[in-house]
Structures are given as C-alpha cells and as structure tokens.
C-alpha cells in the first residue's frame, strides 16, 4: 500500500507515535511500542536516561535504528529552556527532528502559544525540523506552519486527561488548511478517540498515557494500532451520509 | 489467541457480521466480506436470490462453507410473517440459526418489541436458534434472553442512519445483564462507531449500510475489521481513567 | 398569551410538573413548587401522607385547589399493584387523572413496557385518565396513545440520574407522531436539560430529583421555571440553522 | 436580588448582551432588545449609522440612555484598524468601554490572538476599557486579563454558526481562573446553548445571529432572556450529582 506518512522527508508506514517515560519499565515500554507497530517514539530529553551507562538505557530497549527518536521538551516553560534542551539533544544524539512544547502552567499543561511560536522560529533558524505541540486554534496552527514547522500537533484535550477530541470542528479546520501533517497530540483516552482523530483527516496520533496507564498497556497498544488504521481507512473510504430517519426520504426537521 | 465469540455453540474469530443486499453486485459484496474478515453474513431471505439458478446466486460469491449464513426477516411486520419466512429458510437451506426482526413501521424500521417477543417464543419452540434485533430497552432485552434467545441485538440508532450509538448507557446496561452475546445491530456509520460499541463491552457488531454505502465499500470493510478489533482490545485492556485536569490532583468541580 | 398545555381537557399555563417526597420537608416542597411556578404536582400515593391527620399532611402545604394533584404508582412492579394503588387514590381523593408507572427492577427503575401497556388498558377501561411513564421507544409510545393514554411521558434517562436527554432522536420521533402531549419524565439534571427537552418539541417536563437534590432547591426550582419557558419559546421561535463555517457559503465537508 | 454583573465598575441586572446589524430593521432590533431584557448592545462602529441624520439612526430606536452601547471592531483584521475604529467611536460618542475583536480570516472569523493581545495593550494604554473577544485558550485568556482587559469573551464556536459551546472544558478553565467577568461571545444557536454557558459559570452571554436569524426574532429574544436566567440560577443553585444508575448504590463501571 502506498498510504505513507511523510514528515520532513522521512517516510513512515505507522501513523501512531507513542511516548516513553510513564511505563513501569523500559521493557514494558518496548513491548508496547512493538504491539503498537510504532516507528517513532517521543522522548523527554530532560527525564529519560539517554547516556548514563551505569543505569538502564532506553536505547537498549528501543533500538534507535528501529524507532525514530523524537526528542521533546516536556517540562519546559519558556522558549529558552526548550531551545537549550533541544540543543543538548542534538549534541547527544544528533537529533534534528524534534517535538517542541512550551508549556504555560502545571495545572493544564497547555502550550503557551506566544512562546511556542517564538521558540519555533528560533529553532528553525538553527536548522531544527520542528514538530510542534499546539492548541487547537487554527489561526495559530497556520502561523506555526507559516514559519516552517514540519508537523502541526494540536491537542485533543488536556495532556493525560483521556477526554478525547473535545473540539472536532477546530481539528477539522486545521486539517483543511494544513499542507504539513497534522498529528493529534494529547487527550486520546481509548481506541475510539484515536479513530475519531483519524476520521477527521489527521495524519497521525501521538499518545502516551492512554497506553501507559491502561490496565494492560500492551493490549491497549495493540488496540491503538488497529484504531489508527481503522480511522485512517474510514477517512479514505469516505463514510456514508448520516440520515435522520430509517426512511431517508423524509428528513427530520433539522433540529437534531 | 482465545478471545472467541460463541453464539449458540458456534465459535467465531471475527466479531463483525456484515449484510448482503445493498451492494452493487454480489462480487463487490464478497470482496467486502473478505476485507472485513467476516465469518458470518446476514441474508434477507425474502430479497436475496438463494435458489433460482437462472440468475446470479449469492452462494456462488459468498461460499456458505466459508461464511455462516444468518437468514433474517427484514421486511416482516408481524410475528407470523417472520415465522413463515424463517420456516422457508430452514426448508431451503437447513438454517436453524436465524436473525429475527419484526418491524413496526417503514419510517423508523424500529422493532415492534411486543411482536418480536411473541415471535421469538414461537420460533424457539420450533427449534430455531434466535438472534434478535431489538430496541435498546434493557428490560425487553432481558425478556428476550429469558425466553431463550441466543444473542441480543440492540440497535445503536435507526437502521441505515449512520448516527452511531445514541444511548451508550442503555447498551452498557444490556451488556452488564446479559449472559448471551450482545451484538449492536443498526446505526453504525463509521469506524469509531464500531469501536465505541465494542468498548462498551458488546460482543460484536452487525452492519450493512456503513460499508455498502461508503464511497469505497471494500476499504470501509477493512476499516471496520480494524475498528472492531480495536474496540474489543481496548475493552479488554481496560482504559485509563478520565481526568479533569492535566494535573489530576485538583479535580474539576464535577460540572463537566 | 394563548400557549397552553392541555391534558385531558385541563388547561395549564405552566409546563413544569414537579414531584413530592424527596424534599426535606413539606414546607420546602411547597416553596419549590411556588418558585417553579408549577400547577401540577405528582404524588406517590403509597408513600405520601394524604389522610392521617395526626401527622403533617401534604395537602396542608400544597393546596389541592391551587395545584392539580397527579397520583402516581411509584414503587409498583406489576400492573395489578399499580391498578390497586390508583383505585385507592380515586377513593381517597377522587383523582381520576393519574400517572401510571410500572417498574421493571430496582436497579434501573425502567418501566416494564409490557406490563405498562396492560395496566394502561385496564385503567382506561375503569375510567381513569392515564398519563404514562414509558421508555423512549416510539413504537411503544404509539401503542400507549392508541389505547387512549392522555399524555406520553418518555424518560430522558434513568430516574434520579441527572444524565439529561440521552437519546434526543427518539424523543423527537415521539413528539412528531403524538397527538397527545409528550412530557419528558426522568433524567433532567439541570436547567439546560429541561430547555433541550422543550426545544425538541415536548409539551412539558416532569422532574423531582433535579430540584429536590440541588444544593438550593428553591433556587433550582426557579431556574427550571425559566428553563422550561426558554426551551418552549425557542422551539416556537424556530432556531437559526447550524453552519459549519463562520462564512456559511463554504460548508464543512459534512463530516462533523 | 443582589446578583449583579459588574463590568469595569458598571452594574447590570441583565447578563445578556445582544448585537445590532443583522436585523431586518432598527425597529425589530429594538423590539428584540426589549424582549431580551438587554441592558447592553454591541455596535459595529464601521457598519452602523450613528451620526448621519439623513438616514435612520440606531440611537433613535435603541435609546443610549437605556442601553449601554458597546462599540466593537467587527471587520478589523489588524490591531491598527481596530484601534483606529475605536478612537473614532470615542470621538463620536464618548465611548470608552469597548469590545475589541481582531479577526484572522473571513472563513472562520476567529480572532488573531497575537494581534488581539497587542491591540489590547495599546488600547488600555490609551485609557479604553477593553472587553475582548478571544479564542477559548485559557492561557491567552489569562494574558488578556493580565494586561488589564475588563472582560474576557471567549468564543463558544464559530461566529454565526449556532454550534453551541464546543469545548466546555476550556470555558470552565477560563471561568475558574478569571477575576474579571467571562462572557461567551459567539456560537450560541438556541436557548439551551445559552443556559449551558451560564451553567459553566460564565457571567454573561453575547449573541447576535441566534436571535436575528431565528424565524421569530422577538420570541427568540424572550427565550434567551429566560435561558440566561435559567443557566445562572442553576449555576448558583448547585446542580445534583450525576448518577450512573437509578439505584446509586451500584455505580456503572466508569466507562460511560
């Protein structure tokens, strides 16, 4: 099949990106990644052990040759912190493709869009390829694309909340206007949430808690693999029209 | 894997039952069944050519050795009609496992539950194994199980409407009380609808229009195969709890 | 204004019926009824003290000359119990206009529609005017109207749940087909739920827990009075069409 | 009653602000304002005739002594345009209390938050009291409050769409954090939408199309008056808890 996700020139068969760091162990994380069929994992550079050989190393479980590592700036609250973090990542692992997130506060973990845009500009100037966590505001999504971000990653709902896609209209508007991939990042709680994101025309889904905090993370990872494929295929297949009656000749008066 | 759907002693790997009759051709129908990974197809005995060799025969495309045929009583508006139809099916093809539907009116195609219960009793007395299309009323679902139906098939929404699962609370109540399989029958419009049905704990999904009226029915059939697996696995995996804030320590005041 | 609710020949200005029995005191109940602008109250004949003068009497607080008393059969699980209860009510207070409910089980308090229909027929034969609590199944709603019930009272969701109108499509279908008043009975949790019921074209709303278990019942009663008027007026005013874009000339591709 | 809306030191009994300009005539507009019980109307300075005595004047129909005029910057796409517009308004009518909106594009009419924040700062420096139309991003809402805006006016959904409150979680987060009034501005389509906005704790609602494009605008205006009161009272009354079963002792397994 030729339906590939292309981000900054890299091709992926899988449209499901998973996190690292909330799992009980690197071994379980690796098992989940395998079950999810993921080809990309995102890594909180400040939190994950990437270099200290005296302790377990993520790279020993998730082979960087098999998985594209996507360093992220989780926990950064200013553009400067985020940029410093990603420079370190580039020095440590040569990573240029990165996920930028500049958070506003601990309570919501929502992005500070002003700082995010500022950081994106600076990072792109330094040669980074920036996938960017953002609010679901289509206007800001366009600004981020205009300055050169290579993927737009709007939140479905609060990070770690599992509330799903709260505003499908905004996600849809972002999909319609974007020329780079749109990847829902944050909010997915269960399989149908991921399917809905893909049915809206998104190019991929990134999730962490939904898998890591399921009772059986590996099984949920497998569920998510199927959900993303299901949603993608349904989007491409073109769904039936909704009807108001079993007999479609007499439409319900538009009120429901 | 040992996660099997068992209906009246028959075992199935697939939890997706598809229809026949709304497809452009039997060939397309067969291709969709293949893509859906279906092992059971439902057949409107009164509408589908099962015996006239001078015309195309469904059985030449969907091999009854490969697919379990589930004769249904689509278009029957009284218990007597339904019973007569299924007797003919038994004579013609030896089918004992059947899907009963007794409709109330053309506009909604909703079941007449009174007639449905009456027909179910009579059919079971005659030795049929009755899977039964019903409203999402948990009380009537229990009555149908009590008289011996081998699968409860509540509607998600109007037949052919694609409106999805309108009342998840009722479906959930039916799942909780039922000892026989619960299979959502009617209303699924796209992949996420099927996933939601399975996440509620249903044992399977039956659909017709969602696949047959998609722009690309075969692709949608494939989407549905993945959606049903996704929902089932997510249900078995046990989803994360929903949270009101990114920081779960300070719950939103219960209002949303 | 001439927008009146007419039930079995009786005219009401208010479309909000409230319960009795979950309030801390008869005095509070009366205050809530006043704030709600209610003209009808429903009374569980088996539970409320209507005749023992040695204890507080409901009628001393809610004057039967001001409020139409609607005896109900809360707690009855068979047609016979319900009929016996209402006969007693008729003997005690001369009440002929009654609310029938025949429940199926304690867990859901859902109506047993088979028993309900049977009881309705018997009561109507005995000369009662029967308002009937029922599921949201349009087919059974029609049967109840056909045997002569003078108001159809479908549930919005589980009694006492506050989950709102779970299936607006069914409520709408009942409204469209009914020639007698349709009054949502059960499920309303807050003001917007009541407004939604009325916007769907219902003729009235009956509620108990939403007011009685609010932190400030009298204030919530006032909220409900306004909500029912708001929903009714909005229904009669005819709402604007929904649009997919701020610029209505380019509709969103029908997917949301 | 002492439940007053206070904006920049001005007190209002009504929490419903209505628009001008989409009505068939100034006379109808005035009738709707009367029915809505509004005390404030918003006026697109660039579009409404405020000074040319040779044509009908809005002020002849909506008496500025009775209604607080709220000049807005509808149709402005840059901070500079908005500021220029409001300076003119101040010169023409002495209006200092204004509604700022800086739009991003014609298709969505969404605010450009970057320009909006910039304009807000400049206007406040010039002594304006700025009520500000904004996205439902709580982070930007806080920035706007921090620079001194006197009311935060997040959109419920697209201007003129009637889609209601698409993301109640965001509105709730804004309400929780704000010390100035929060007024939902855009998206309300019918009475229940307005009630929901108020139940979330908003201090008021601004609407235009929902009334102006109803079949009967005056009746819808009356509906909205009641809806806003209903939602406000329900919020203050404190709604009942939602329950998963009629018998609350056995909670549904958290999945619905």
Question: Which pair of tokens denotes residue C135?
Answer: 């599921």
Q: Across the beta sheet with A97-100, what order do the strands follow?
A: A151-154, A129-134, A97-100, A68-72, A40-44, A16-18, A204-207, A183-185
Question: Which pair of tokens denotes residue B200?
Answer: 């509620």
CB contact at 8 A, B175 and B145: no
Q: Is D118 helix (H, G, I), strand (E, B) or coil?
A: helix
Gap between the terminal Cα atoms of chain D? 39
- Percent of chain D past pLDDT 70, that is, above it, reads 96
Q: Which residues of chain D lie closer than 8 angstroms to B166, CB-CB? A: none
Give the pLDDT of residue A69. 95
Min Cα separation C1/chain B (Å)? 35
Q: How many CB pairs under 8 A join A and D?
A: 60
Question: Could you count the other beta carbons within 10 Å of the beta carbon of residue A83?
Answer: 20
Q: Which has more confidence, B195 or B249?
A: B195
Integer Cα distance of A239 and D54 in angstroms: 56
- The angle, 0 to 180 degrees and rounded to 10, between the axes of the packed helices D217-237 and C217-237 is 160
Q: Which residues of chain C lie closer than 8 angstroms to B113, CB-CB? A: 113, 137, 139-140
Q: What is the pLDDT of residues C26-35, one digit of tens each?
A: 999 999 999 9
CB contact at 8 A, A69 and A41: yes
Instruction: Please state the rounded mean pLDDT for residues C79-106.
Output: 93
Min Cα separation D138/chain A (Å)? 8
Min Cα separation B12/chain A (Å)? 19
Instruction: Please state the rounded mean pLDDT for residues C154-168.
Output: 94
Min Cα separation A243/chain C (Å)? 11
- Please name every residue paired with B183 in a beta bridge, in sequence order, or none if there are none: B204
The distance from CA B118 to its chain's CA centroid, rounded to whole angstroms, is: 21
Instruction: Please state the rounded mean pLDDT for residues C189-203.
Output: 98
Name the nearest CA neighbour of A219 among A190, A187, A199: A190
Verify whether the Cβ–Cβ distance A166 to D166 is below 8 Å: yes
Catalytic: which of A66, A99, A179, A243? A99
Tell me the C-alpha to C-alpha distance, in Å, between residue B98 and each of A141, B69, B125, B200, C119: 53, 9, 14, 25, 33
Q: Which residues of chain C lie closer than 8 angstroms to D236, CB-CB? A: 216, 219
Verify whether the Cβ–Cβ distance B140 to C167 is below 8 Å: no
CA atoms within a 13 Å half-sphere pointing along the CA-CB vector of A172: 19
Catalytic: which of D99, D143, D225, D243? D99
Q: What is the pLDDT of residues B11-58, one digit of tens each?
A: 999 999 999 978 999 999 999 999 999 999 999 888 777 778 888 888
Closest alpha carbon within chain D to C160: D246
Integer Cα distance of D50 and B2 in angstroms: 76
Enumerate neighbours of A (3 or more CB pairs within 8 A): B, C, D
Catalytic-residue membership of D99: yes
User: What backbone torsions phi and psi does residue C38 show, to the nearest 5 degrees?
Assistant: -70, 150
Name the nearest CA neighbour of D243 among C160, A59, B238, C67: C160
Verify whether the Cβ–Cβ distance B199 to D255 is below 8 Å: yes
Q: What is the pLDDT of residues B161-211, one digit of tens each?
A: 999 999 999 999 999 999 999 999 999 999 999 999 999 999 999 999 999
- Percent of chain A past pLDDT 90, that is, above it, reads 82
Min Cα separation B156/chain D (Å)? 15
- Percent of chain B past pLDDT 70, that is, above it, reads 96
DSSP B139: H
Strands (E), D129-246: 129-134, 151-154, 183-185, 204-207
Verify whether the Cβ–Cβ distance C242 to D162 is below 8 Å: yes
Q: Which domains does chain D have, with CATH numbers?
A: 10-237 (3.20.20.70)
Name the nearest CA neighbour of D248 among C18, C158, B140: C158
DSSP B126: T
Q: Is A234 helix (H, G, I), strand (E, B) or coil?
A: helix
Most confident of A41-50, B42-51, C50-59, C72-81: C72-81
Integer Cα distance of D9 and D213 in angstroms: 33
Q: From the list D172, D252, D254, which residue is nearest B255 (CB)?
A: D172
CA atoms within a 13 Å half-sphere pointing along the CA-CB vector of A243: 20
Catalytic: which of C99, C125, C143, C215? C99
Min Cα separation A255/chain D (Å)? 10
Enumerate neighbours of D (3 or more CB pairs within 8 A): A, B, C
CA atoms within a 13 Å half-sphere pointing along the CA-CB vector of C48: 31
Q: Is A72 annotated as a binding residue?
A: no
Verify whether the Cβ–Cβ distance A241 to B162 is below 8 Å: yes
DSSP B182: B
Q: Is B160 annotated as a binding residue?
A: yes
Pairing between β-strand D183-185 and β-strand D151-154 as defined by DSSP bridges:
unpaired
Q: Is A49 annotated as a binding residue?
A: no
Closest alpha carbon within chain D to B165: D256
Q: Which residues of chain A lie closer than 8 angstroms to B107, CB-CB? A: 245-247, 250
Closest alpha carbon within chain B to D167: B256
Q: Is A14 helix (H, G, I), strand (E, B) or coil?
A: coil
Verify whether the Cβ–Cβ distance D200 to B252 is below 8 Å: no
Helix residue spans in B97-156 (DSSP H): 113-125, 138-146
Closest alpha carbon within chain D to A136: D137
Name the nearest CA neighbour of C193 among C222, C162, C171: C162
User: What is the pLDDT confidence band of residue C249, given thresholds at 50, 70 and 90?
Assistant: very low
Closest alpha carbon within chain B to C105: B139
Min Cα separation C111/chain B (Å)? 8
Question: Which pair of tokens denotes residue B169?
Answer: 């609370």
Instruction: Please state the rounded mean pLDDT for residues B72-80.
Output: 94
Q: What is the pLDDT of residues D14-40, one digit of tens each?
A: 999 999 978 999 999 999 999 999 999
Verify whether the Cβ–Cβ distance A166 to D167 is below 8 Å: yes
Min Cα separation A144/chain D (Å)? 12
What average pLDDT does the structure give for chain C?
92
Closest alpha carbon within chain C to D224: C230
Verify whether the Cβ–Cβ distance C170 to B170 is below 8 Å: no
Tell me the C-alpha to C-alpha distance, in Å, between residue B5 and each of A121, B9, B12, B156, B178: 54, 10, 5, 20, 14
Helix residue spans in chain A (DSSP H): 26-36, 58-61, 79-93, 113-125, 138-146, 168-177, 191-199, 209-212, 217-237
Instruction: Please spell the DSSP secondary structure of C20-79, one letter per residue.
Output: -SSSS-HHHHHHHHHHHT-SEEEEETTTS-SS-TTS--HHHHS-TTTSEEEEE-TT--SH
- Percent of chain C past pLDDT 70, that is, above it, reads 96
Integer Cα distance of B26 and B108 in angstroms: 27
Verify whether the Cβ–Cβ distance C137 to B135 is below 8 Å: yes
Residue C60 clears pLDDT 50, i.e. is over it: yes
Closest alpha carbon within chain C to B169: C166
Q: From the list C172, C239, C241, which residue is nearest A252 (CB)?
A: C172
Verify whether the Cβ–Cβ distance C252 to A172 is below 8 Å: yes
Integer Cα distance of B33 and A143 in angstroms: 45
- Percent of chain B past pLDDT 90, that is, above it, reads 82
Q: Is D186 annotated as a binding residue?
A: yes
With a cut of 70, list the residues of chain D below it in pLDDT. Answer: 1, 247-256
Instruction: Please state the rounded mean pLDDT for residues B75-91.
Output: 94
Verify whether the Cβ–Cβ distance D220 to C231 is below 8 Å: no
Catalytic residue positions of B, numbered: 99
Is the whole model's pTM more than 0.80, yes or no?
yes
User: What is the pLDDT confidence band of residue C1, given thresholds at 50, 70 and 90?
Assistant: low
Q: Which residues of chain B lie closer than 8 angstroms to D231, CB-CB? A: none
Chain B positions contacting chain D at CB under 8 Å are: 168-169, 172-173, 176, 199-201, 239, 241, 244, 252, 254-256
Integer Cα distance of C209 and C20 in angstroms: 10
Q: Is C167 annotated as a binding residue?
A: no
Instruction: Please state the rounded mean pLDDT for residues B243-252.
Output: 56
Q: Which residues of chain D lie closer than 8 angstroms to B199, CB-CB? A: 255
Verify whether the Cβ–Cβ distance C237 to D230 is below 8 Å: no
Integer Cα distance of B199 and A191 in angstroms: 8
Chain C positions contacting chain A at CB under 8 Å are: 168-169, 172, 176, 199-201, 239, 241, 244, 252, 254-256
With a cut of 50, list the residues of chain A below it in pLDDT. Answer: 247-256
Sign of CA dihedral D112, D117, D123, D124: positive
Closest alpha carbon within chain B to A218: B237
Q: Which residues of chain C lie closer than 8 angstroms to D22, CB-CB? A: none
- The angle, 0 to 180 degrees and rounded to 10, between the axes of the packed helices C168-177 and C138-146 is 30
Verify whether the Cβ–Cβ distance A220 to B214 is below 8 Å: no
Integer Cα distance of C184 and C220 in angstroms: 18
Gap between the terminal Cα atoms of chain B? 39
């Amino acid at each position: 099949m030729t339906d590939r996700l292309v981000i900054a020139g890299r091709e992926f068969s899988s449209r499901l990106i998973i996190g690292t760091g909330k799992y009980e162990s690197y071994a379980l994380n690796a098992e989940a990644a395998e079950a999810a069929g993921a080809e990309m994992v995102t890594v909180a550079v400040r939190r994950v052990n990437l270099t200290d050989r005296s302790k377990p190393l993520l790279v020993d479980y998730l082979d960087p040759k098999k998985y594209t590592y996507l360093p992220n700036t989780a926990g950064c609250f200013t553009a400067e912190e985020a940029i410093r973090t990603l420079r370190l990542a580039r020095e440590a692992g040569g990573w240029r493709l990165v996920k930028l997130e500049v958070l506003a506060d601990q309570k919501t973990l929502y992005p500070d869009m002003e700082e995010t845009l500022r950081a994106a500009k600076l990072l792109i100037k330094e040669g980074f390829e920036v996938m960017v966590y953002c609010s679901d505001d289509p206007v800001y999504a366009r600004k981020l694309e205009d300055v050169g971000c290579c993927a737009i990653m709007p939140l479905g709902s609060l990070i770690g909340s599992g509330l799903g896609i709260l505003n499908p209209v905004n996600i849809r508007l972002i999909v319609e206007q974007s020329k780079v991939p749109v990847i829902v990042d944050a909010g997915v709680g269960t399989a149908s949430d991921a399917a809905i994101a893909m049915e809206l025309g998104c190019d991929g889904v990134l999730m962490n808690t939904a898998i890591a905090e399921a009772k059986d993370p590996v099984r949920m990872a497998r569920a998510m693999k199927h959900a993303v494929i299901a949603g993608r295929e349904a989007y491409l297949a073109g769904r039936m029209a909704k009807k108001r009656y079993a007999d479609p000749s007499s439409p319900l008066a538009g009120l429901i």
